[in-house]
Structure 1
Amino acid sequence: MENWTIVTIILWVLIIAYAGWEIYQYFQRKKAATPLDNETFKEDMRRAQIVDVREKDDFNAGHILGARNIPYSQLKQRAGELRNDQPIYLYDDKKTLSYRAAMMLQKKGYTDLYVLKEGYSGWDGKIKRKKK
């Protein structure tokens, strides 16, 4: 019975450590970028670089008018395409990748980062679709 007690304690320690890491990451993501609702995003989007971090097929199926596609999977290599002197508005379907992208850009020295609060799935503004 003693071995099971040790295994149980170790499992609980691992679970608590993992939960702590997830909470830490959550707050780091939130600190990396400011969330914007649809109205604020629309008001200021002309002064910003709008970046869709979804993959190309999703982007081609429909994206916010004026957005450029830099998929999250390529962002590390393509971050130099973004200007450091203008705000960067990030979005994806739900906002998970956007916050990860914001953390990555923050590590590269970008500071003026924003995320569309509802993601593309909640966007009610103008969109563009690429023709096949």
Structure 2
Amino acid sequence: MDFLLSQNNLWILLIALASGALLLWPNLIGGGRATARIALADAVGRINRENGLFVDIRPETQFKAGSIPQARNIPIDTLEAHAGSLPKDRPIVVVDTRGQEAGKAVTQLRKHGLEQVFSLEGGLNAWIDGGLPLKKS
């Protein structure tokens, strides 16, 4: 017990506890849930089973160059304005190029009451790497 009560050791213990709390903070406040990533196979299965929707947040020019068939294009800068038009009772998988920007979109959509929102791990690149078809407009 003397070890814990020593002035120097007490500071070390407090710093360790604070560091641990800061590492856990995103999960404690729901941040881990807000950026839920979903693997390609799980995303396709969920979309098919539950009549879900792929939302492609890339700019329209990139979307037209190649996208997931039946995906809806809502560029990220207009996403908040279109959030009300998305189904609240079906899963939504957000797609970008590499899976890096989709987490922000997931957070935005969850703030609008959409609960079943996920980002596609690896983005459209994962779709292409998986050998799945692309639609070109």
- TM-score under structure 1 length normalisation: 0.73
Q: Structure 1 counterpart of 2:86, which letter?
A: L
Partner of 1:43: 45
On the 8 A contact 2:58/2:74 being kept in 1, the answer is yes
On the 8 A contact 2:68/2:135 being kept in 1, the answer is yes
Unaligned runs of 5+ in 2: 1-21
On the 8 A contact 1:54/1:70 being kept in 2, the answer is yes
Partner of 2:12: none
**Aligned partner (choices 70, 75, 80) of residue 76 of structure 1:** 80
> Equivalences for 1:1-132 in 2 at 5 Å?
30-46=32-48, 47-123=51-127, 124=130, 125-130=132-137
| More contact order relative to length (CA 8 Å, sep ≥ 6) | 1
Q: Structure 2 counterpart of 1:101, which letter?
A: A
Query: Quick one: structure 1 residues 114 and 57, their matched pair in 2 at CA, closer, same or farther if it must change by over 3 Å?
Result: same
Query: Quick one: structure 1 residues 74 and 85, their matched pair in 2 at CA, closer, same or farther if it must change by over 3 Å?
Result: same
Give the whole-Å Cα distance in 2 for the aligned partners of 1:61 and 1:34: 27
Give the whole-Å Cα distance in 1 for the aligned partners of 2:31 and 2:67: 23
Q: CA RMSD in A?
A: 1.9
Say which structure is richer in strand: 1
Q: Give the structure with higher Rg (CA).
A: 2
- TM-score under structure 2 length normalisation: 0.70
**Count of residues in correspondence between the two structures:** 107
On the 8 A contact 2:46/2:91 being kept in 1, the answer is no
Give the whole-Å Cα distance in 2 for the aligned partners of 1:128 and 1:121: 14
